[in-house]
Structure 1
Amino acid sequence: MEPVRTCIGCRSRSPRSSLLRVVTQNSHVIADDSAVLPGRGAWLHPSLECYRLAVRRRAFTRALRVRGELDTSNVENRLKANGQLMSGSK
């Protein structure tokens, strides 16, 4: 049985393999594709909708237990690039 995690954006539970793990490094949120980077991680559906919900709810700082502002642009750019690749391949 595969582990289940909760998306910090939409708050729905999904298998770990369908979510993207993110961690913080030097006030930047980065995607952890292999889910092995050190530190506290949070899980997010790889969609712009869930990303925007997480930003609006300030879920990154709460889930990653950090104070201050976090730069989430790396994750946003990655999700936008993946969205363009998927929509271009249809």
Structure 2
Amino acid sequence: MVSVRTCVACRKRATRAELLRVVLHDGRLIVDDRAVLPGRGAWVHPTARCLEQAVSRGSFSRALRVSGKPDTGPLENRLKTLMDN
């Protein structure tokens, strides 16, 4: 059976392989490549559009159940690296 998750930005369902799991670590959003880091995770498509949408709507804070706005720098850098390859 294939695991299906929902993107926190566009709300479209996709397989785990098509999405990135994002977790909060020391106030920063980081990509959890192997989906094994502890804590709540949020799933997002690895596209600039979905990332911008999730940040502007506060989707990560809501999905991860944290107050305030987490640092998206590490996540944005990782996404740029993925899109360049």
TM range (shorter): over 0.9
Unaligned runs of 5+ in 1: 86-90
% identical equivalent positions: 54
- 1:15 corresponds to 2:20: no
Letter in 2 for 1:83: M
Aligned-pair CA distance for 1:26 = 1.2
SS in structure 1 of the partner of residue 77 of structure 2 = helix
State the AA in 1 paired with 2:12: S
Q: Which residue of 2 aligns with 1:88?
A: none
Taking structure 1 as the reference length, what is the TM-score of the superposition? 0.90
The structure whose Rg is larger is 1
Q: Partner amino acid for 1:36?
A: V
| Equivalent residues, number | 85
Secondary structure, in 3 states, of the residue corresponding to 1:66? coil
Structure 2 portions without partners, runs of 5+: none
How big is the shift at 1:61? 0.3
- Residue 16 of structure 1: how far off its partner (Å): 1.2
Report the counterpart of residue 63 of structure 1 in structure 2.
63
Report the TM-score, using the length of structure 2 for normalisation. Answer: 0.95
Q: In structure 2, how many angstroms separate the alpha carbons of the residues matched to 1:84 and 1:46? A: 12
Q: CA deviation at 1:20?
A: 0.4
Aligned-residue offset at 1:59 = 0.3
Q: Which residue of 2 aligns with 1:30?
A: 30
Q: Is the 2:58–2:69 contact (alpha carbons within 8 Å) kept by the matching residues of 1? A: no
Q: Give, in whole Å, the separation in 2 of the partners of 1:68 and 1:45.
A: 22
Taking only aligned residues, the RMSD between alpha carbons, in angstroms, comes to 0.8
